[in-house]
Structure 1
Amino acid sequence: MKKILIIEDDLIMRENMAELLTLVGYKINTAEDGKVGVEKAKSFLPDLIICDIRMPVLDGYGVLHILSKEVSTASIPFIFVTAKTERNDLRKGMEMGADDYLTKPFDDTELLKAVETRLKKSDLLSKPEKAKSKTINENDLINSINKLATNSEPTIYAHKEQVFKTGDYPHYLFFVEEGSVKTYRFNEEGKELISSIYHHGEFFGFKPIIENRTYLESAEAIEDSKLKRIPKDKFISLIGKNKNVLSKLVKIISKSLTEKEQELMQMAYDSVRKRVALRLIELIPDDSDSSITITRSDLAAMVGTTSETLVRTLAELKDLEIIETDMHSISLLNRGKLMEFAKNW
């Protein structure tokens, strides 16, 4: 059964389209604005998206832009819905990569024909892809890189010890065997801005090697950590011998850029409570030892708020028995309640 996501702020129109497409055998999901639509597109992974242009919170252009940057959603066919008075906006939508458009008001036959045509074309285009050789997944990529470091002893970095600094030339690709490392930079006012945190099983520092440039940010251990260092020449040799490795790295870079866009959206639209909850869901591993060692200032920098506001939010989560805290770590007691807390804010 083909899946279709309808993103439309007009309740009646949204329900009418959903009812019709359900009747003819499609599995339907709906969203009332662009922001919700982006979230549902990533979880629902539809075969087709029907999206209004003019919507609150995030318009159709923003939806298409964000989804086109995400590997999992970039190839989903996209149909814009627009009013006659907005037809001049269609050129912009088509230039951005929309596949088709419907002009309001349209009848049932027009909608069904547009959907059927677009899904048939999508199926035809996808057939050559299915015949291609299987590319490596992320675990294979990690294993390939980890093999390069099997003969080297891990380097131990103490808490707050610098791994590299802005302006250094890269000599190694780093693989986190134990502990956690943050990458960061400073803005014009001297405020520290954390870009990423890497945990066990993750690697970092490959972009400067691929782009043949110096580091644009610094890296520091946020707890006692063991890192495997893969020499730059060995990493470049691996890329040269295996195009799948390079392809996967490009996808990871694309995913990273999309995540940064999502973070900017969260900064603009989400409350501090929701940003804190979402960041904790991301950072704390989903296993029996669900905890992370991180300073309040580091977490505040990642969320985009002050340490004082963060401490108040953590205290609220603690009172709700969602987390437990001490001077150096945060433990997650109930992931489900934390996810519900994020949804409510």
Structure 2
Amino acid sequence: MNNKKTILIIEDNIDIREGTTEILELTGRYEVITAENGRVGVDLATRHIPDLILCDIMMPELDGYGVLFMLSKIESTAKIPFIFLTAKAERADMRKAMEMGADDYLTKPFDDVELMNAIEVRLKKHEQLSADSGEEYDLNLSEEEQVLLLQELLANSRVKTVKKKQSIFEKDDSPTYVYYVKSGQVRSFKLYKDGRELSTGIYIEGNYFGYASVLLNENYEDYAEAVESSEVILIPKDAFLELLWKKPAIASKFIKLLSVDLREKEEQLLGFAYHSVRKRVANALISVAEKNGININEVNACTIDITRDGIASIAGTANETVSRMLSDFKEEKLISKEKGKIYINSIKNLRDVKQ
């Protein structure tokens, strides 16, 4: 019995068309039919009724938007999972594709893993919807159950080792993954035309990042790089969204994380508006301690590992100003230096630093 799924590839670039076909056929799980333009693609889709369609946007005869529009009006093809293949990374184009009813998009060049993940997730989701089994999704999950589900998601995702200062994603990149710090430390930041950096987040072992752009279906608004040699787990966007769709309790967890991120950014902006540089540097040191998992309500002294550049990025000031503030704090016995790291002698006193 042939249990292979049929994939229709509509792509005018012969190299991409043949390369994608080869990848899919090598798995032994798919039969592939191909079309060199949109008009041929619509004809093949209506005659063969494939299980999934991969379609380029910019094509002669009929573009990808036209293909999707025409197939959505035909009862037999309206519900076929539809994934755009596009070299166009502009936000407006991606939004237009999703608003028209596309299930997903892959930005060229994409790798084999991205392609297979996108296809498998969409086929699985389509089967679940078609079965209409009346499955009840858990509205309430214990913390332990949430942890187990997220651990399973992580276990099925790829681990990437990143070196110190190595980029993980850049501003305006299309969100393909949600990231999880398995070990090490990662920071996100904005970069201004004059060369200044503004830190937007510090992530340590056990932290997720990059999920806001995935949830909003928008390109990244900042940069992310490893602060030190780190291991980062790359959770495919589709697998992440499917879990949230099936388990509202997990979705609620990430909504809360988004709320915390928003509150921290609001506090940061208020600090820029109303706090002196001295106060902002003190708050930056405390923030780093918190981000490193130190309970500042229970511990009054701790060691943190951060560069002057990092502090300047969080505090929104110049390196020279940070050096001067750290010297002042050292003279006031608020901090000391230990093997290149900063030892906070009293979190309480640092928090009470006056304007």
TM-score of the two chains, using structure 1 as the length reference? 0.55
Q: Which residue of 1 aligns with 2:261?
A: 256
- Would the alpha carbon gap of residues 177 and 292 (structure 1) be closer, same or farther in structure 2, given more than 3 Å must change? farther
Q: Which residue of 2 aligns with 1:174?
A: 179
User: Larger Rg: 1 or 2?
Assistant: 2
Q: CA RMSD in A?
A: 2.6
Q: In the TM superposition, what is the alpha-carbon distance from 1:204 to its structure 2 partner?
A: 0.2
Q: Which residue of 2 aligns with 1:183?
A: 188
Q: In the TM superposition, what is the alpha-carbon distance from 1:134 to its structure 2 partner?
A: 5.8
The residue identity in structure 2 corresponding to 1:275 is: R
Candidates 191, 197, 203, aligned match of 2:202: 197
Distance 2:316 2:222 in 1: 18
- Would the alpha carbon gap of residues 191 and 327 (structure 1) be closer, same or farther in structure 2, given more than 3 Å must change? farther
Contact 1:136 1:248 in 2 (8 A): no
Note the residue ranges of structure 2 that are not aligned, 5 or more in a row. 1-138
- Would the alpha carbon gap of residues 166 and 307 (structure 1) be closer, same or farther in structure 2, given more than 3 Å must change? same
The residue identity in structure 2 corresponding to 1:161 is: Q
Q: Which residue of 2 aligns with 1:336?
A: 348
Contact 1:175 1:201 in 2 (8 A): yes
Q: State the identity %.
A: 32
- Would the alpha carbon gap of residues 134 and 145 (structure 1) be closer, same or farther in structure 2, given more than 3 Å must change? closer
| Secondary structure in 1 matching 2:164 | coil
Q: Which residue of 1 aligns with 2:273?
A: 268
| Secondary structure in 1 matching 2:205 | coil
The residue identity in structure 2 corresponding to 1:338 is: L
- Would the alpha carbon gap of residues 328 and 140 (structure 1) be closer, same or farther in structure 2, given more than 3 Å must change? farther
Q: In the TM superposition, what is the alpha-carbon distance from 1:290 to its structure 2 partner?
A: 3.2
The residue correspondences of 1:235-254 to structure 2 (distance < 5 A) are 235-254=240-259
Q: In the TM superposition, what is the alpha-carbon distance from 1:239 to its structure 2 partner?
A: 0.5
Q: In the TM superposition, what is the alpha-carbon distance from 1:325 to its structure 2 partner?
A: 2.7
The residue correspondences of 1:1-345 to structure 2 (distance < 5 A) are 144-152=149-157, 154-284=159-289, 285=292, 286=294, 290-325=302-337, 328-341=340-353, 344-345=354-355
- Would the alpha carbon gap of residues 333 and 225 (structure 1) be closer, same or farther in structure 2, given more than 3 Å must change? farther
Contact 1:142 1:201 in 2 (8 A): no
- Would the alpha carbon gap of residues 169 and 297 (structure 1) be closer, same or farther in structure 2, given more than 3 Å must change? same
Output one character per residue of 1:126-182: Cα deviation in whole Å (capped at 9) or x when no partner.
Answer: xxxxxxx76766x87566434311255632211101111122222221111222111
Q: In the TM superposition, what is the alpha-carbon distance from 1:327 to its structure 2 partner?
A: 7.4
| Secondary structure in 1 matching 2:179 | strand
- Would the alpha carbon gap of residues 299 and 327 (structure 1) be closer, same or farther in structure 2, given more than 3 Å must change? farther
The residue identity in structure 1 corresponding to 2:241 is: I
Distance 1:141 1:319 in 2: 47
| Secondary structure in 1 matching 2:161 | strand
Large movers: runs of 4+ above 6 Å: none
Output one character per residue of 1:74-132: Cα deviation in whole Å (capped at 9) or x when no partner.
Answer: xxxxxxxxxxxxxxxxxxxxxxxxxxxxxxxxxxxxxxxxxxxxxxxxxxxxxxxxxxx
Distance 1:149 1:271 in 2: 42
